[in-house]
Chains A and B, each alone.
Chain A
Amino acid sequence: MAKREEPKVEEHRGEEKKIEEFGAETYLESAKALRQVGARVFLSIGATILIWVFGQMLFLPIAKGMAQEFLGYPVHSIISFIIIVALALIIFTVFVDIRRLTGGMAGVLAYHLGKASGEMSVESYKNFRTALDGILYVIVVSLAYLLFASYLAEINPAIPAIVLILIVVWSIFALWRSCKAIANVIGRYTSKWADEMEKQIKKA
């Protein structure tokens, strides 16, 4: 009896070792990503907030005091457009950096869940990454909208409403995609649970 169980124990130990190795790798990867990208993300957020504050408190009031027009556009609309372009460029770099951070975070999540359930797969890592990407992108886009809204309203009051509606439609699809990724992970657990129940019935 003891001899028969030996290969199973070996297999289990091999699986555990594989999970531990994956865990160490993902922790190192996420620490590296945080070191490389973290400071840049904070600097970018600081820069966007500064640009927003200076635009709102200084440049727009000055521009509103001017009566001149360029190519039929008032000065404050042109200033708003310039600030929007600057903010958009900075926020785009934040988006790229966030993708690296979520990669590390998804690895850590997949490791902890894999450790708890005793199985680890590249698929679950990808699923967690897709889920985190979607949710974080929606949060970042809605925060970015807060920065852009007042400047967009300076160009035309209808623009922020249209942009918000587009964001809403996009976010619904992004969240649906994230949930699909999480549901894949949950689906594996439910089928595992069903298999366990099936085994118990057969035993009885």
Chain B
Amino acid sequence: MKGSEKVENEKNEEIENVIECLKTHGAKTIHNLLSAFLIWLFGNLVFIPLASTLNWQARVFCSLIFFVAFTLLFLKALPGLRKLIDAFSVFPARKYGVKKGLNYENSLVLFRHLFYVISAVILYLLYFPFLANFHLSIGGIVLILLLIWIFFLALRILSIFSSKILEWLQS
């Protein structure tokens, strides 16, 4: 009985944490992300093509202005986004972690890292048009750095599944 009560209390605490995160960071993070996305849309679909009609210098300068604005807004949103990802990964961890026979702590780490990877890929795709305007190789360098980071995250995810993989290999 005491064990189930403890689990229930932990669950409530985590949901309270999600609520707290939503209240303190929700609106501010959404505002910054929405602004960054709208600036990205107008920059890449309207102003950078407009600047391209003038000359390459104007295109690069416009790209630089949008790049700086987008980066500043994203950096402002980043702490809130990270806290929201950490808080919300509790739900899939509870729902799918137990089903797959994973330890709760491990499934939490798994989903947290999975969300980090998804966010990083989306972010790279958003940054790519700016980077390509500066030089294509800059986009390549950033992709390599991103892949290295994803590799280390994947290692952490694999270590969670290592026992399962060994079991599977033995069977």
Binding site for B on A (CB under 8 A): 135, 138, 142, 145-146, 149, 160-161, 164-165, 167-169, 171-172, 175-176, 178-180, 182-184, 186-187, 190-191, 193-194, 197-198, 201, 204
- When C-beta atoms are compared, the residue in chain B nearest to A176 turns out to be B35
Residues of B8-33 at the interface with A, using a CB-CB cut-off of 8 Å, are 12, 15-16, 18-19, 22-23, 26-28, 30-31
Cβ–Cβ < 8 Å partners of B148 in chain A = none
A164 touches B27 (CB 8 A): no
Binding site for A on B (CB under 8 A): 12, 15-16, 18-19, 22-23, 26-28, 30-31, 34-35, 38-39, 42-43, 46-47, 50-51, 53-55, 57-58, 61-62, 65-66, 69, 73
Given the complex of chains A and B, what is the CA–CA distance between A121 and B81 in angstroms? 29
Cβ–Cβ < 8 Å partners of B73 in chain A = 176
A146 touches B38 (CB 8 A): no
A183 touches B47 (CB 8 A): no
Given the complex of chains A and B, what is the CA–CA distance between A165 and B15 in angstroms? 47
- When C-beta atoms are compared, the residue in chain B nearest to A193 turns out to be B22
Cβ–Cβ < 8 Å partners of A182 in chain B = 31, 34
A161 touches B58 (CB 8 A): yes
- Distance to closest chain A CB from B81 (angstroms): 14
Given the complex of chains A and B, what is the CA–CA distance between A171 and B46 in angstroms? 11
Instruction: Tell me which of B19, B43, B46, B51 contacts A198 (CB under 8 A).
Output: B19
Instruction: Tell me which of B31, B51, B61 contacts A179 (CB under 8 A).
Output: B31
